[in-house]
Amino acid sequence: MSTAEGAVAAARAWLAQDPDPETRAELEQLLAAADDGDADAAADLADRFRARLAFGTAGLRGELGAGSNRMNRVLVAQAAAGFAAFLRERAGLGETDPADVDADADGHADGDAHADTEPARVPTVVVGYDGRRNSRVFAEDSAQIFAGAGLRAILLPRLLPTPVLAFAVRHLDADAGVMVTASHNPPNDNGYKVYLGGADEGAQIVAPVDAEIAAHIDRIAAEADAAALPRSLAFETAPESVVEAYVEATAAVASASAGAEGLRWVYTAMHGVGWETVQRIVERAGYPAPITVDAQRDPDGTFPTVSFPNPEEPGAMDLAFATARDHDADLVIANDPDADRLAVAVPDEDAEGGWRRLTGNQIGLLLGWRAARLAAESGVTDGTLACSLVSSPGLQTVAEHFGLRSAATLTGFKWISRAPGIVFGFEEALGYLVNPETVRDKDGISAAVAFLGMVSDARTEGRGIRDLLNEFDETFGFFASDQISVRVDDLSVIGRVMSALRADPPARIGEVEVDRVDDLLTGVDELPPGDVLRYWLADGSRVIVRPSGTEPKLKVYLDVRGDSADDAAARIHAVTTAMRELVDTLSA
């Protein structure tokens, strides 16, 4: 059977189990066009069925559409059934017992979630969803399939930020959680993030659990018709008290000081789900209400004002900057669409448009400094400041200054959150964990509250954010970071660049010799293996190259430490220029 014939056969088999009229119509149109000899339709079919969207430590994430290589209701149903099978096996329950499923008369068990409504050994799964296309549908499908598998399924009461789901896993003492979100990905993407409770404390899954879940999903996809998977409407809806508990805990991260009075700050939810929750928390914590970017305040899965709903992307914060200029604001705070990331911008007369977004490393180092001071004031001596290995090494210097431990992990909060004794964690991609006793994941809302607390305390002393950044440099050293991101249409380009760098590692980067190369595929510093190359330069600079885990990008991270701000700026410019030339040459 040819590739084209195989894709057509797979598409027809897919149609037979797809419950979604939209994706069914989409696939039927493609099949009809391919039958009429349309080469583009045939190529599209081949791409949709050339592989299965892989389940890994990031769960599932991909473009919405029909086919095994897209995000859709068939794939989500199989993922939910596979995850349910994994949880039952882990609990020693074996195959699904229909006697475990007991629906109320209307099929729902709305209201408070009490553990004594199900047998003690039955695992509990909490399901949340954001405002992206199909998020609620995917969440309800999952809750029905979990309930149909005899699990206790609890659906959050409405679309909410990802940190609320991570909080709910621990708050409800659940065994697991699922969040339907693609975070800051392009508008037509969606995803499926998986968390574990118990000893994992509501953290995202890591290996080898991901492979175990994937094996169950693959088995179900091969053996069962998704339309025939057991479903039940006997899932519960979590009470509003769960959200209120998150609001209360997060407002307590940093109550407003006297310096908060008169603070003018702009907030954007970037068409995501952050605003409602943020509004309640900042009011509870005593901060002035923000000036909102009205066009981006409410959830809208089409993201009409941004081409890419990621605060890191050029242009994504332009409306926020315009709003800040109009209101002569002191500060801009942005969350990404599921509110697990935080961006901060400050007035800067030298920047285009008069506003400059702080880097993820700058925010992370300031928040890490805050966490270390609080730990010292509380008498904590065995806590850990953790960051991903591609984030600024300045955090280690902060930890050493305060007598705390430091840890550098593989990228992703699934690893950062597991650092023993963690009191703070961050990654340079705008992710921060400031309240580990509440949320064991990045949380852009609690990070925003912590940052507002720093700002209001500084204002009490007549100082601003620039003063804090300068004090950090004078205290801990002049660190500078940069990043090169190469987006590709052909993923083989990334593999080719990584292979070339392994086969012929550079002896020099710019004018500076390379002292040592770490290839993390072989395991380094007790880190799990990963597709990462790390270069240590003779002047103390560091360069890291790795493929993105969620997007078709090759990423290069550059860090230097200088004798002054000007020296650090010159060093980072030189190493960035040299690496950009090298990567461009290898990817051409």
Residues acting as catalytic residues: 183
CB 553 within 8 A of CB 486: yes
CA distance linking residue 413 with residue 435, whole number of Å: 13
Q: Is the dihedral of CA 132, 133, 137, 143 positive or negative?
A: negative
Helix (H) or strand (E) holding 335: strand 331-335
CA-nearest of 401, 427, 405 to 414 is 427
Q: CA geometry: angle at 222 spanning 219 and 225, to 5°?
A: 110
1 is written with which tokens?
A: 């059977």
DSSP string, 494-505: HHHHHHHHHHS-
Q: CA geometry: angle at 116 spanning 240 and 85, to 5°?
A: 90
Give the pairing of strands 508-509 and 512-519: antiparallel
CA distance linking residue 319 with residue 39, whole number of Å: 41
| φ, ψ dihedrals at 555, nearest 5° | -120, 140
DSSP string, 279-310: HHHHHHHTPPPPEE-GGGTS--TT-TT-SS--
Contacts of 512 (CB under 8 A, 6+ apart): 537, 538, 539, 541, 574, 575
CB 232 within 8 A of CB 148: yes
The count of other CB atoms within 10 Å of the CB of residue 389 is 24
CA-nearest of 344, 290, 350, 279 to 317 is 344
Q: 343's torsion region: left (phi>0), alpha (psi -120 to 50) or beta?
A: beta
Q: 344 pairs with which residues across the strands?
A: 333
DSSP string, 163-217: HHHHHHHHHTT-SEEEEE--TTS-TTEEEEEEEE-GGGTTEEP-TTHHHHHHHHH
Please report, in angstroms and rounded to a whole number, the separation of the first and last CA atoms in the chain: 35
CA distance linking residue 435 with residue 257, whole number of Å: 19
Q: CA geometry: angle at 96 spanning 94 and 102, to 5°?
A: 135
CA distance linking residue 395 with residue 406, whole number of Å: 7
Contacts of 259 (CB under 8 A, 6+ apart): 455, 456, 457, 458, 459, 460, 461
The beta strand positions in 377-421, using DSSP E, are 384-388, 405-409
Helix (H) or strand (E) holding 24: helix 21-35
